[in-house]
Structure 1
C-alpha cells in the first residue's frame, strides 16, 4: 500500500524554478543535491507538504500536460498580486467558489499551472 506521495516537478532551469517556488511562494529548502555548487535536485517544504524540483534538460510539465499543483496560502489575493508583480502570469484572478474557497491560478516559469487556495466561509446553500 502507498504510504505517501512526493511530487517532483522536472524543470529545465533550477534558478528560475527556485525564484518561483522558493522565493515567490516562500517554501523552505530542506534538502539539496549536491550540497555545494549548483543543485540538480531540491526538496522544498510547503507547509505540511513537500515538493521536489529536479533539473532535467528540456523537462517541464508545462501547460496542458495534465498536471496542476495546488498550494493553500494565507491570502490568495495578496499572493496572486505579489506573483503578478514579480512578473509571473496570472491565469485566473482570485474568485470565491461555491465550495467555500477563494482560488486563483498562476503559471510557474515553465507553464505549469499552480492553483492558490484559501478557505473562506461556505457559501449559503440555495433553496
Structure 2
C-alpha cells in the first residue's frame, strides 16, 4: 500500500515529512519547477504528498473540508522521546506525549501540517 496525502501547503508538509521525520525524496513531478507531487521514503515505506492545486481533482471528490479523524499514519523511529522533542522544537503540535503502551510499544501522537494524526512508535 502506498498512502498519498493531499497537502494544502506542500512545502510545509515537506518540512514535516522530509526535514523533521527524515524522509528521502524518491520521485518528483514535474522534475523542473514547483512540484505538484513528491514521494518520500521513510524507513522501508513510502508516502506520496500531492499539492491540492486550484483545479478539480481527478476523482471529482472535494478534498476540503475534511471532518473528523480521517487517517492515522504510523512511523517507526529510533527514539520516540527524542523525535517528539525535535518535532516540538520544530513547532509541530504534540497530540499525545510519549507513553508506554500495554502491548509493549512506546508511542506518541503528533499532527502533520494538514491535521493528519501521525503515531510515532518504537
Q: Do they fold alike, i.e. is TM over 0.5?
A: yes
Whole-Å separation in 1 of the counterparts to 2:46 and 2:84: 21
Structure 1 position 12 matched with structure 2 position 12: no
Asked if 1:45 corresponds to 2:45, the answer is no
* Counterparts of 2:102 and 2:31, CA distance in 1: 45
Give the alignment's Cα RMSD to 1 decimal: 1.7
State the Cα deviation string for residues 24-60 of structure 1 (Å, max 9, x = none): 0000000000111111000100111010001114846
Q: Does residue 90 of structure 1 match 2:86?
A: no
Gap regions ≥5 residues in structure 1: 119-127
Is residue 84 of structure 2 the alignment partner of residue 80 of structure 1? yes
Question: 1:91 and 1:52 mapped to 2: Cα distance?
Answer: 23
Query: How far off is 1:71 after superposition?
Result: 0.1
| Structure 2 length-normalised TM | 0.87
TM-score of the superposition, structure 1-length normalised? 0.84
Instruction: Return the alpha-carbon distance in structure 2 between the equivalents of residues 61 and 33 of structure 1.
Output: 25
Unaligned regions of 5+ residues in structure 2, if any?
Answer: 55-62
Bigger-Rg structure (1/2) = 1
